[in-house]
Amino acid sequence: MSGASGSSDIPAIGVLVSGRGSNLQAIFNAIERGELRARVAVVISSRADAPALRIAADHGSTCHVIAPRDYPSRAEAGATIVDVLRAAHVRVVALAGYKPILDACVVRAFPNAIINIHPSLLPAFAGGMAPRPQAEALAAGVKLTGCTVHFVTEEVDAGPIIAQSAVPVLDDDDVETLSARILVEEHRLLPLAIGLALSGRLTVEGQRVRLAPA
Ligand code: GAR
Domain boundaries, the chain: 12-202
Task: Please report the atom of ligand 1 found closest to the CA of residue 17.
Answer: 16
Contact status, residue 51 vs residue 20, Cβ threshold 8 Å: yes
Q: Return the active site residues.
A: 118
Q: Does domain 12-202 have CATH number 3.40.50.170?
A: yes
CA dihedral 83, 79, 105, 21 (to 10 degrees): 70
Rg (CA), the chain: 16
% of the chain at pLDDT higher than 90: 96
- Region 48-66: what's the mean pLDDT? 98
Q: What is the pTM of this model?
A: 0.95
Using alpha carbons, list the distances in angstroms from residue 189 to 35, 68, 185.
12, 28, 6
**Cβ of 186 less than 6 Å from ligand 1:** yes
For 122, which DSSP code? T
Query: pLDDT digit string (tens) for 167-188?
Result: 999 999 999 999 999 999 999 9
Task: Please report the atom of ligand 1 found closest to the CA of residue 20.
Answer: 16
